[in-house]
């Protein structure tokens, strides 16, 4: 059963990756208004996800779901704060706009690297879950 869930989640991930690559191609030469409009759309999605995590923390029935939601929300907020407050201060070309562009580029590169690592981690825990499910012997659980 879990394998079907993993396959569905991987399908979702593939769809998001395809969208990501398409956006990078499409917006490479787009005007500022088009990019700003799509960024507003992405910010809305980001806010919906944040709202979902906050709701999971408030109303989660499972301590595991609450803990995972808290970890994800903490990560989002911490990275947002670094991007807003710390990265621009670390750049010192003397040109504020150039420093900001460099900071955001560095953050984007890190975010892609982090996503790659998250995919590897997801594969590891998915394989472990499959292994545990495959080795589970229900006859050992006598109720």
pLDDT digits (tens, 9 = 90+) for 6-21: 889 889 999 999 999 9
Neighbours of 30 (CB within 10 A): 13
The pLDDT assigned to 110 comes to: 92
Categorise residue 62: left if φ over 0, alpha if ψ from -120 to 50, beta otherwise.
Answer: beta
Distance of CA 14 to the CA centre of its chain: 13
Cα atoms in the Cβ-side hemisphere of radius 13 Å centred on 78:
7
pTM equals 0.75
Q: Is the confidence at residue 130, as pLDDT, over 90?
A: no
Distance of CA 118 to the CA centre of its chain: 8
Q: Encode pLDDT of 73-129 as tens digits.
A: 999 999 988 888 888 777 777 788 888 888 889 889 999 999 999 999 998 998 898
Q: Is the confidence at residue 140, as pLDDT, over 70?
A: no
- Residue of 86, 79, 132 whose CA lies nearest to 109: 79
What does the alpha-carbon distance between residue 88 and residue 71 come to, in Å, rounded to a whole number?
25
Q: Encode pLDDT of 31-72 as tens digits.
A: 999 999 999 999 999 999 999 999 999 999 999 999 999 999
- Residue of 50, 82, 85 whose CA lies nearest to 69: 50
Radius of gyration of the CA atoms of the chain, in A: 20
The pLDDT assigned to 143 comes to: 47
């Amino acid at each position: 059963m879990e394998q079907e869930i993993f396959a569905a989640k991987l399908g979702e991930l593939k769809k998001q990756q395809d969208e990501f690559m398409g956006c990078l191609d499409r917006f490479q030469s787009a005007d500022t208004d088009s990019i700003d409009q799509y960024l507003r759309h992405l910010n809305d999605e980001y806010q919906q996800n944040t709202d979902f995590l906050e709701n999971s923390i408030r109303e989660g029935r499972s301590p595991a779901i609450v803990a995972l939601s808290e970890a994800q929300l903490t990560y989002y907020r911490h990275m947002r704060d670094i991007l807003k407050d710390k990265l621009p201060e670390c750049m010192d070309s003397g040109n504020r706009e150039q420093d900001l562009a460099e900071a955001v580029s560095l953050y984007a590169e890190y975010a892609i690297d982090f996503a790659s690592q998250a995919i590897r981690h997801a594969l590891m825990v998915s394989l472990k879950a499959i292994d545990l499910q495959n080795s589970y012997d229900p006859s050992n659980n006598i109720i």
